[in-house]
Amino acid sequence: MASTISFAEEPVKLGVWSRVQDSLSQTWESKNYELYIPVNTWHNRNYYTSEKIDSYNEQPWGLGIGKYRFDDDGDWHALYVMTFQDSHNDVEPVAGYAFQNIWRPADDFRLGVGYTVGVTMRQDMHYLPTPVIAPLMSVAYKKIAVQSTYILGGEGHGNILFTWLRWQLQ
C-alpha cells in the first residue's frame, strides 16, 4: 500500500528576514500617501530644570510624507521621512518604518499602539546618522490622526513626547 503526502494544505512559513522584506516591499509599493505635520514637543518636567525648559523649542515647525498601508489584520504600516525643528531650533530629519496594531472601537475611529525604527540626524551630534527605536501611539478618526512617540532618556536629555498630525491623502 502506497502512502501519499500532501503539502498543499500547509501554508509556507517565511523566516523573520523574509517577512520583514515582504512587509517593507508591500508598504513601499502601496499607492497610499500621508502627510505629517509636527505640532508639539514636550520635555518631561521631571528631568529638566525650568531654565532648560524655557530655552527649548516646544513648537516644532516641520513637514513629512509617508507611504502607508493596512494589512489583512487591519494593522498600519508606514515608510516615512520628516524634517522638523528640534529642541534647539535646528533642523532634524528622520526617516524610517512604523508599525501599529490597530483597535477599532467604533466606525471610523481607531486607536493604535506600536513602534518605529529609523534613523535621525541632529546638529548637536554633528549630523551623524543615529538609530531610533521608539514606541508609537495614535488616535485616529477617518483620515486624520494624532500620533506621538516618547523618546526615552535620562536627566537633562531625552524624555520627550513628540506629537504630530497624520493626514491620509488617499
Contacts of 69 (CB under 8 A, 6+ apart): 26, 27, 30, 32, 76, 77, 78
Given 87, 124, 126, 148, which residue is catalytic?
Answer: 87
Place of cell 504600516: 77
Residues 6+ apart with CB under 8 A from 73: none
Write out the three cell numbers for 79: 515608510
CA distances to 86, 101, 114, 164 from 136, rounded to whole Å, are: 18, 10, 5, 11
Exactly one of 23, 54, 73, 86 is catalytic; name it.
86
Does residue 30 carry a catalytic annotation? Answer: no
Question: Contact 82/38 with Cβ under 8 angstroms?
Answer: yes
Question: Is position 71 annotated as part of the catalytic site?
Answer: no
Whether 50 is a known active-site residue: answer no
C-alpha cell at 64: 513629512
- Of 18, 25, 43, 55, which residue is the catalytic one? 43
Catalytic residues: 43, 86-87
